Amino acid sequence: MSIKQALPYVKVEVGDSWPLPLSRSFYEHEVLVRQAKA
């Protein structure tokens, strides 16, 4: 469920035009880690 919450957050921050490189997965992981600690 956390993943479903994190993806729209990242999508809103960067917009639909942002490409999907491996680095995006890294940033999404960082968001999940921060949410888990909160």
Q: Express each pLDDT in 23-38 by its tens digit.
A: 777 888 888 899 898 7
| DSSP per-residue string spanning 3-36 | HHHHHHHHHHHH-TTS---HHHHHHHHHHHHHHH
pLDDT tens-place string over residues 4-25: 455 555 555 555 555 666 677 7
The domain segmentation of the chain, as residue ranges, is 2-37
Q: Confirm whether pTM is higher than 0.85.
A: no
